[in-house]
Structure 1
Amino acid sequence: MTNRSRSSPSAEGELRLPRPPGVLRRYWARHPVFADVLVCVVCLMVSAVPVIATPVLPEGVGTRSSDWLRVLPFLGVMVVLGCLSLLLRRRHPILVLGAAYLVALAYLFTPDPITGPLVLVATYSVAVHVSTRATLVGVGIGTVVLVGTGIGLASAGAISTAVLWGSIVNEALNAVIGGLIGTNVGSRARYVAALIDHSRRLVVERDQQAKLASAAERERIARELHDIVAHSLTVMVALAEGVAASRDAERSRPGVEAIAATGREALRDMRATLGILRDPAEAPLAPLARDTTAETVASARAAGFDTRLIVSGDPAGLDSRTQLAVSRIVQESVTNILRHASGATRIDVVIRHEPEGVSVAVRDDGFPVTAPQDSPGFGLRGLRERVELTGGTVSAGPRHPHGWSVTAHIPRQELHA
């Protein structure tokens, strides 16, 4: 009882997979032409038995034999053609059903009530290969035509009442049996086809989601590597140029130490970023979610710029993603000043912590060599993407009379326990 309860569906609408087909059904499905030929032959044999046997049964002499001889050629042709139409039951099941009811009409002209399996097989084929609704409509029309024609012929004295009622009852039973079996088989086949189609869509969606996630991860790592490498190398180049221009070894020592410290810091951040690729279970950005604003300002000062950092407001409760975005805004802006600002001597970094968010502004007094806003590079584009991920805005442009300014606003994120 316990095992049975465990195997039963636990909720309404639970998806239940069908049982796999057996050996016979798999062979039947793999060889449709052989199956159709076999069905045609069997139906032809079953239909031929009453046509051949009924005239030679007892009392098959005299008037009765002559009546059968008149009907037998026509009936034989109709039965053969009806059975041959079963070869088209997969491609044209409605046509086959119509041919089956034509044969049923031919049975009305026999001296004795006989029938065959054509209506049964044709109804089954419509239910399997079309739909249950088409089966009901087709059988309804065929039955109405059969009954109406039979009543008209019986009223005119062309056929006997026994043949009429025998044909109606037999064909109705064949239609009901074929329809019930075909509906069951067809519903299961359509259910399996729907499951397969649903599974294929799920696979496609899964692959698309994986590609999107992979692309987003590549962009994120590209942003991190660009921020680390571009800033660190820019600072190191500036410091190295200052050391090379100095002839005093003692005055050059702090610059050399700053180059080494910047290189070590860049290597540490790069290892943390690449570690995410090696260990997928590691939380993304967790090793890098720290405030590097002071280090960026210090590196700019070491490179010879008059750099000022102004922080106002209470930074308490600032989440790591926002803090990382603020640090990267300052880092990328200072890096662009070191690389592109000609004649710049002063850098102002202003960070305001407000109840609704954080505002960042980085300004210089130099002359920009390029216009990043007209042709943004990887750094500014990555900066915009990073700020947009936090729901903020960023803008960059020239100042008057000279200089460049980068401003950003990041809304404060709610921290959840």
Structure 2
Amino acid sequence: MSPGSRGSSSHDDELRLPRPPGVLRRFWARHPVFADVLTALLCLAFSLVPATSFTDRLDEAVGIARLWPVTGPVVMVVVVLGCVSLLVRRRYPTVVFVGAVVVALAYLLAPLPTGGPMLGIAAYTLAVHRSVRSCMIGVGVGLGVIASVIAALAFTGEIGAAVAWNSLVSEALAALIGSLIGANVGNRQRYVSALIDRSRQLVVERDQQARLAAAAERDRIARELHDIVAHSLTVMVALAEGVAASNDIDRARPGATAIASTGREALRDMRATLGILRDDDDAPLAPVSRDTTVETVDSARAAGFDATLTVSGDRPALSSAVQLAISRIVQEGVTNAIRHSRGAERIDVRIAYRSDAVEVHVVDDGEPVVSAPTAPSGYGLRGLRERVVLAGGTVAAGPGPGRGWRVHARIPLEQENHER
């Protein structure tokens, strides 16, 4: 079994399709070869049995029908070949229909009106295994050819009126009945097949959406972990270096306490972030989006920087996405200043709440840098930009006008005002 068939089978199992109704219909569908052989044998029987009585009634024949002892074997061969062609009717429905028309024309050589079910079976096959339009065209053209030949033979006196009318009416009725049944069955099969294909497509799309959502969630968790781990470890490293450089145990004790406090905060945030990976329904869907701006500035101050926080304007009620974005902007800016700004001593954080937006500035006074303080493949400023864009804002980072590095973000509050 190919991988594609295994995938289709798994999708069919997932669809949980109901069992098709009807014992005979299910048996017929599961054994197409047996069905075709049985159809060909029945058609052959109904087509050849009436012809056995023609030899004794040649005195009633007219025109070319008087040659039945010569043409009879040819007609029998044509009928047999036509019935045998029913074995491949599913694969070549048009060829089988053309053969049925030829068989119907061969019946005109008989001394008496006769016929068979082959044209009806061929019309049914054309409607089911091709299309209703193909069946209508085929039946129209086939009956037109039969009617033209019958009219030509009748006007020349080669066949009698009874043979002409009976042959035309019987073949037309057989083709009409086969077409109507075939159109009904074919349209139902195509409709059910379209529904099943659409259901399979929906299952595939659902799986794709689930994979995309899982990938997006993994990326979001990676950004959260980067923000937590990068900032906390940066502060802890700076504090540890200060403790190691101090020979006074009493002066080093606050730094060690700050290291422990920062580690506990990082562990708490990581547990909240990784909690969404649990399978139980009570797991939080997102990490707690608390305001960590003050803690971030305090950690920079504890690491030995002259860090200041300035907040202006009236703080509105913010959504969790905007609040988390503000906290992460400050955290990323302060972390980059601690890690990458050479000679930086001061870090200024300014948050301005305006009527239409909130603006965040993080500026340090270190030596100017040439490139962004983050690896191209990391989650630093790239993750920060994704987070701000998700909140509907913009962010810019680059060297400041004098010294140091500057991070500026603007998040509109129109959505917040509409929500309130």
Give the TM-score normalised by structure 2.
Answer: 0.90
Residue aligned with 2:109, SS: coil
In 2, Cα distance between equivalents of 1:18 and 1:180: 27
Residue in structure 2 matched with residue 416 of structure 1 by the alignment? 419
Residue in structure 1 matched with residue 69 of structure 2 by the alignment? 69
Residue in structure 2 matched with residue 142 of structure 1 by the alignment? 142
In 2, Cα distance between equivalents of 1:221 and 1:63: 94
1:192-231 correspondence to structure 2 within 5 Å:
192-231=192-231
Shift of 1:21: 4.1
Residue aligned with 1:108, SS: helix
Residue aligned with 2:380, SS: helix
Matched, 1:277 2:277: yes
Residue aligned with 2:386, SS: helix
Shift of 1:172: 1.0
In 2, Cα distance between equivalents of 1:351 and 1:391: 17
Q: Is the 8 A contact 1:226 1:379 kept in 2?
A: yes
Instruction: Please give the root-mean-square deviation of Cα atoms over the aligned residues, in Å.
Output: 2.0
After TM superposition, the structure 1 stretch with the greater mean CA deviation from structure 2, 122-131 or 245-254, is 245-254
Residue aligned with 1:125, SS: helix
Letter of the structure 2 residue corresponding to residue 191 of structure 1: Y
Letter of the structure 2 residue corresponding to residue 381 of structure 1: R
Distance 1:158 1:227, change over 3 A: same
Q: Is the 8 A contact 1:373 1:396 kept in 2?
A: no
Matched, 1:404 2:405: yes
Q: Is the 8 A contact 2:343 2:366 kept in 1?
A: yes
Residue aligned with 1:367, SS: coil
Residue in structure 1 matched with residue 393 of structure 2 by the alignment? 392
Residue in structure 2 matched with residue 170 of structure 1 by the alignment? 170
In 2, Cα distance between equivalents of 1:315 and 1:302: 26
Q: Is the 8 A contact 1:340 1:370 kept in 2?
A: no
Shift of 1:368: 5.5
In 2, Cα distance between equivalents of 1:176 and 1:355: 77
In 1, Cα distance between equivalents of 2:366 and 2:281: 43
Residue aligned with 2:395, SS: strand
Letter of the structure 1 residue corresponding to residue 129 of structure 2: H
In 2, Cα distance between equivalents of 1:331 and 1:364: 13
In 1, Cα distance between equivalents of 2:109 and 2:299: 107
Letter of the structure 2 residue corresponding to residue 388 of structure 1: V
Shift of 1:211: 0.7
Residue aligned with 1:39, SS: helix
Shift of 1:52: 1.1
Aligned residues: 397
Deviations 1:196-248 (A, max 9, x none): 21111111101110111000100111111111111111111111111111122
Letter of the structure 1 residue corresponding to residue 80 of structure 2: V
Residue aligned with 2:419, SS: coil
Give the TM-score normalised by structure 1.
Answer: 0.90
Deviations 1:313-370 (A, max 9, x none): 1112222210110000000110111111110000010111111111111000112567
Residue in structure 2 matched with residue 91 of structure 1 by the alignment? 91
Letter of the structure 2 residue corresponding to residue 396 of structure 1: A
Shift of 1:19: 6.4
Residue aligned with 1:363, SS: strand
1:313-392 correspondence to structure 2 within 5 Å:
313-367=313-367, 371-372=371-372, 375-376=375-376, 377-392=378-393
Q: Is the 8 A contact 1:373 1:397 kept in 2?
A: no
Letter of the structure 2 residue corresponding to residue 114 of structure 1: T
1:242-253 correspondence to structure 2 within 5 Å:
242-253=242-253
Distance 1:132 1:30, change over 3 A: same
Residue aligned with 1:378, SS: coil
Shift of 1:384: 0.9
Residue in structure 2 matched with residue 52 of structure 1 by the alignment? 52
In 2, Cα distance between equivalents of 1:402 and 1:215: 39
Shift of 1:374: 8.3
In 1, Cα distance between equivalents of 2:18 and 2:105: 40
Where do 5+ consecutive residues of structure 2 fail to align? 1-16
Distance 1:228 1:134, change over 3 A: same
Letter of the structure 1 residue corresponding to residue 187 of structure 2: S
Shift of 1:39: 1.4
In 1, Cα distance between equivalents of 2:360 and 2:374: 22
Residue aligned with 2:135, SS: helix
Residue aligned with 2:178, SS: helix
Letter of the structure 2 residue corresponding to residue 311 of structure 1: V
In 1, Cα distance between equivalents of 2:111 and 2:225: 94
Q: Is the 8 A contact 2:393 2:412 kept in 1?
A: yes
Distance 1:406 1:213, change over 3 A: same
In 2, Cα distance between equivalents of 1:63 and 1:99: 29
Q: Is the 8 A contact 1:124 1:179 kept in 2?
A: yes
Q: Is the 8 A contact 1:313 1:353 kept in 2?
A: yes
Residue in structure 1 matched with residue 14 of structure 2 by the alignment? none
Residue in structure 1 matched with residue 106 of structure 2 by the alignment? 106
Distance 1:186 1:273, change over 3 A: same
Where do 5+ consecutive residues of structure 1 fail to align? 1-16
Q: Is the 8 A contact 2:112 2:163 kept in 1?
A: yes
Shift of 1:282: 3.9
Letter of the structure 2 residue corresponding to residue 409 of structure 1: R
In 1, Cα distance between equivalents of 2:58 and 2:244: 129
In 1, Cα distance between equivalents of 2:276 and 2:18: 42
Letter of the structure 1 residue corresponding to residue 210 of structure 2: A
In 2, Cα distance between equivalents of 1:374 and 1:353: 28
Identity of aligned residues (%): 61
Letter of the structure 1 residue corresponding to residue 202 of structure 2: L
Shift of 1:61: 6.0
Residue in structure 2 matched with residue 13 of structure 1 by the alignment? none
Q: Is the 8 A contact 2:232 2:263 kept in 1?
A: yes
Letter of the structure 2 residue corresponding to residue 234 of structure 1: T
Shift of 1:35: 2.1
Residue in structure 2 matched with residue 10 of structure 1 by the alignment? none
Residue in structure 1 matched with residue 311 of structure 2 by the alignment? 311
Distance 1:61 1:237, change over 3 A: closer
Letter of the structure 1 residue corresponding to residue 387 of structure 2: R
